[in-house]
Structure 1
Amino acid sequence: MLSPLREHLRDTFWFAPIASMAAVFVLWLVSSELDEAIIRFLQEEQDYDAVTELIGIVEDAKTIVTTISSAMMTFIGVVFSISLVAVQMASGQFSPRVVRIFIRSRITKATFSVFLATFLLSLLVLTSYDSETDPRYVSTVPLVQSVLTVLMVGLSLLLFVAYVNSTLRLMRVGHVVDRITWEAFGVLAKQPQYAGELGDLGEATEHVLHRGRAGVLRDVNVALLVRLARRHGVVLRLLPRIGDFVVPGTPILAVYGGRVPRRIGAAVSVGVERTFHQDLGFGLRQLADIGLRALSPAVNDPTTAVQALDRITQFLAAVANRPLGAVHHRDGKDTVRLVQDVPGWTDLVDLGFTEIRGCAPGNPQVSRRMLAGFDDLLSLVPADRRAPLLRHRTLLTQLVERTTPEAADRAFALEGDRQGIG
């Protein structure tokens, strides 16, 4: 139940700052009680000299806290504005889908959360200062609160350095494609190993229709669907694939062997864009987008396309011998309860190479890297998976031969090279 919710919250930018401000409010309440307890203890011991000394220390700290509260919000605004410019540049250079890397970045969320929490804490601490200066009657001296504020400022500065480094890395194509590939491998690692043909399930006894808004199928609550299927003694099949666009009235689940309640459709999540949570092909989609944009006349950056092809080849090599085409989710008794279609080997190869291959003519660096990738993959895959690779290799060769008039240029463009032009 918590896994889809956690992933959806990671795709938002509001949850972490709000949670941090709620946490710092609780921290302020605790520290305020501690300050009052310290003063009560000293007054009960009649150690008024110590109370007077604390009042002096806190009065000096009040100047620092006041400065923090006035400067922190301005600092947040400037940093956030610079960040939006950096993200806009990265999305324009690589792909609009890289914005989600910024949104999901833990260091980005942690930085803004701590900044806002520090600002809120400084305001709360200022309300705790007592106008009474007589050590016999003062009710609180916010010593602990002031120390916490200074510590939060120190943490903010450290996070700011890490945040600037993270934002600058977002503008480097090597980091972007590496991050996308890392997330794609994370999806692959979560995929169950039960794949292949299940056998004849017979005719579907019921179809569950999508009743929500139109949008992209982001993910499904697998645990809930398996539990409901086991309870009703049925097998469910997810009809659209993760990443498909669905509209109201679209059949989303086929039921075999019985009936299920209508509320089962709530286990399917639809949103405005694809996510990495369960979408096996989304990583290749982003890498292909980066490579395709790099080869557009407006950008004309074949080296970036080669870097994208490096990662496409890496991902396809990782799934070269992995069962694909369907995922079987089983219950505690090892009975298949949910069948979920995933992209097959041909689908992944086409997704990774088709669009970039169409832009390869005139870019020998790209055609040479793609041919080297085909050679590497052909040496890894079993015989029954060689056909789509050979098809793309043949189409690429024919395309280069048609568009390159000089024989020497054709020979050069059709020679495999892992660096493109090494």
Structure 2
Amino acid sequence: MSGKSGLSGTSGASGTSGPSDTSASVPRTPRALASLRERLRDAFWCAPTAGLVGAFALWLALSELDTWIVAYLQKEGAYEELGDLLTFAGDARTIVTTVSSAMMTFIGVVFSISLVAVQMASGQLTPRVVRIFVRSRINKLTLTVFLATFAFSLLALTSYEGGPEPDPRRVTSAPLFQSLVTLGLVGLSLLLFVAYVSSALRLMQVGPVLDHIARESLRALGRQPEGVVDEPSLGPVTAQVAHLERAGVLRSVAVARLVRAARRHGVVLRLVPRTGDFLVPGTPVLAVHGGTAPPRHALRRTVSVGVERALFQDPAFGLRQLSDIALRALSSSVNDPTTAVQCLDRIVEYLAVAVRLPLAPLHHRDRRGHVRLVQHVPGWTDLVDLAFEEIRWCAAASPQVTRRMLAGLDDLLLLAPEERRRPLLRHRALLVEAVERTVPEGAGRAFALRPDRQGIG
């Protein structure tokens, strides 16, 4: 089941130990509606559906307004003005009819182009770039306006009365405002079409896609609460909560609800898997410290499980996407080291920000400052391994990539504090060994091991 997870409490060993509050910092708890907002951004149908409902509501309001104007002019005896209004409405009827008949064909052509662009991007880069199209605001807005224009034009046609020259004394409706709004929607659709084509073309370019992934990853990294380096003792595990629904990827957790449930039952909850892990039914998802597990209804809708990872509470997913694109670029079928260098540019940018963060387990607290939920996150070594390990295995034969990777590692070594230099030095040494094994000539090895931020240039 996507978006939900069933949880079942299982009692464990007896004995309690209250949480310690000796940590130096109090990380903020993510907002309760943040997860819902992210799910709505992943839902492509939401905005178009809202647009159709809005088009129907707007038509009802304007239909009443047009009827009121006709009744008012008839009451005042302004038949000449009413005749001019009917003439304009009759002229606009031709345009509205054309719009209603051509709009669906236009929508089909436009989104056929978009599907081709998505297919090309996913084939050349990684299938995970499809989520960029799904979450794109301009794509959703374009489809929403297109469908709203089509629906509104059909509804407006029902307001036109028959006959080429309706009698101003007997007519009951002259869709003046409905015609104007239809023409306005057509103009807006044309402007959005230009913006949409530009967005589709950017999706087919490597640079904009990598920039989008990097910006989203850095935003997710910035939203992450500050971790606690000196982890307080939680005491023994007294119960466990198992995952009962179908298997899936842990996308996010409702932190605020879990904190409330833990506070009400006087326990500390610890998330066993990390965000992005694959959950199998029956495996533990929450460990309970200091008491019995909260009842199942208290934990309902607190764990979101889906078919694919999400960046909302999983900043490492951005590194995974960048690494995937680099690996595909270095494959023998693609052989595009320049794309791999561009990925390394963004990877180094990401790690340059992460190197200054604690990257320690998150301790979410209630209003009184007591730890109620512990959430483990990838550490610095995990991020460095994810960023360089797989790429290093494929890059030894490409001097452009090895030179860029060495320059990136050297830049990170300048930024990293002493306690975080070890994984960087390890990857640098392994890269040098890989190049020495792969390149037999001394001059070639010296060239491949010369740091260069542009690779070769």
TM-score bucket (shorter structure) = over 0.9
Cα deviation, residue 265, structure 1: 4.7
Partner of 1:141: 174
Residues 208 and 265, structure 1, Cα contact 8 Å, conserved in 2:
no
- CA distance, structure 2, for counterparts of residue 347 and residue 197 of structure 1: 19
Equivalent of 1:74 in 83, 86, 105: 105
Alignment length (residue pairs): 422
> How does the TM-score come out when normalised to structure 1?
0.98
- CA distance, structure 2, for counterparts of residue 233 and residue 143 of structure 1: 65
Cα deviation, residue 340, structure 1: 0.7
Residues 237 and 289, structure 2, Cα contact 8 Å, conserved in 1:
yes
SS at match of 1:274: coil
Partner of 1:404: 439
Partner of 2:419: 384
The structure with more helix, counted as a fraction of residues: 1
Alignment of 1:155-234 (within 5 A): 155-234=188-267
- CA distance, structure 1, for counterparts of residue 377 and residue 339 of structure 2: 28
Cα deviation, residue 269, structure 1: 0.5
- CA distance, structure 1, for counterparts of residue 76 and residue 227 of structure 2: 71
- Kindly provide the CA deviation profile for residues 80-131 of structure 1, in whole angstroms up to 9, marking residues without a partner as x: 1111111100001110000100110000010011001100000000011122
Alignment of 1:253-292 (within 5 A): 253-259=286-292, 260-263=294-297, 264-292=299-327
Runs of 4+ in 1 over 6 A off after TM superposition: none
Aligned residue identity for 1:368? R
Partner of 1:239: 272
Identical-residue share of aligned pairs (%): 64
Partner of 1:85: 116
Partner of 1:50: 81
Cα deviation, residue 28, structure 1: 0.8
Aligned residue identity for 1:90? A
Cα deviation, residue 163, structure 1: 0.6
**What residue ranges of structure 1 are gaps of 5+ in the alignment?**
none
Partner of 1:362: 397
**What residue ranges of structure 2 are gaps of 5+ in the alignment?**
1-31
Equivalent of 2:371 in 336, 358, 372: 336
Partner of 1:349: 384
SS at match of 2:188: helix
SS at match of 1:205: strand
- CA distance, structure 2, for counterparts of residue 138 and residue 211 of structure 1: 64
- CA distance, structure 1, for counterparts of residue 145 and residue 451 of structure 2: 50
Aligned residue identity for 1:43? Q
Residues 227 and 359, structure 2, Cα contact 8 Å, conserved in 1:
no
Aligned residue identity for 1:38? I
- CA distance, structure 1, for counterparts of residue 171 and residue 229 of structure 2: 75
> How does the TM-score come out when normalised to structure 2?
0.91
- Kindly provide the CA deviation profile for residues 333-379 of structure 1, in whole angstroms up to 9, marking residues without a partner as x: 22221111110000000000011100112200000000001101111
Cα deviation, residue 184, structure 1: 0.4
Q: CA RMSD in A?
A: 1.1
- CA distance, structure 2, for counterparts of residue 294 and residue 126 of structure 1: 53
- CA distance, structure 2, for counterparts of residue 29 and residue 299 of structure 1: 55
